[in-house]
Amino acid sequence: MSEVKQNKKRAQTSVLRQLAALQTLSLEQLHEKWLDLYDSKPPKYKKQFLVKQLAYRIQELFHGGLSEEAKAHLKNVAANDPMATILQRKPTNNKSGERILPGTRFVRVWNGKQYEVIAREKGFEYEGCVYRSLSAVADKITGTHWNGKVFFGLKKGAKK
């Protein structure tokens, strides 16, 4: 085997070892690794998130990141996609400050039957009809008044 191939194989093995080692690091050690690889303060997220991001970064440094052409293409696609929210804040136009994005699909099993609802720009589609709210859909499904977010599991119901 040529020296170049051996060096490449050693480097690949090193990457795999680093990826495996991430699982064994403490949160403090992951923060240190983050500083080394990103040269910035680590975000205050759970260990699992840090491990995934560091694994990506290790591979990115070894294999190279996305080309400028690929980045430009993704940026262009995102600019024309209402579901892409990376460069813009999600609109917050309801009382709780949270917004259900169009295209979100809700599935609920009720009395042994599966029901599916899709969020649209203006309302929620169920069986070809658009309803003003999730509560209206829940009422239609159950025949009684329900909080739609509770019915579809978006928030906990009242304590009993």
* Number of domains within the chain: 2
pLDDT of residue 126: 94
Residues 7 and 59 in one domain: yes
CA-based torsion, 42, 43, 49, 53: positive or negative = negative
Residue at 114 is within a domain: yes
Write down the pTM of the prediction: 0.46
Range of the domain at 59: 3-63
Domain-embedded: residue 81: no
| Per-residue confidence band for 7, with pLDDT thresholds at 50, 70 and 90 | low
82 within a domain of the structure (yes/no): no
pLDDT at position 55: 93
Cα angle 45, 56, 17; round to 5:
105
Question: 40-44, 91-95, 117-121, 127-131: lowest mean pLDDT where?
Answer: 91-95
Instruction: Summarize the confidence of residues 37-66 as an average pLDDT.
Output: 90
Mean pLDDT of 139-145: 93
Higher pLDDT, 152 or 7: 152
Q: What is the pLDDT of residue 92?
A: 46
The CA-based angle 11-43-73, given to 5 degrees, is 65
Domain membership of residue 32 (yes or no) is yes
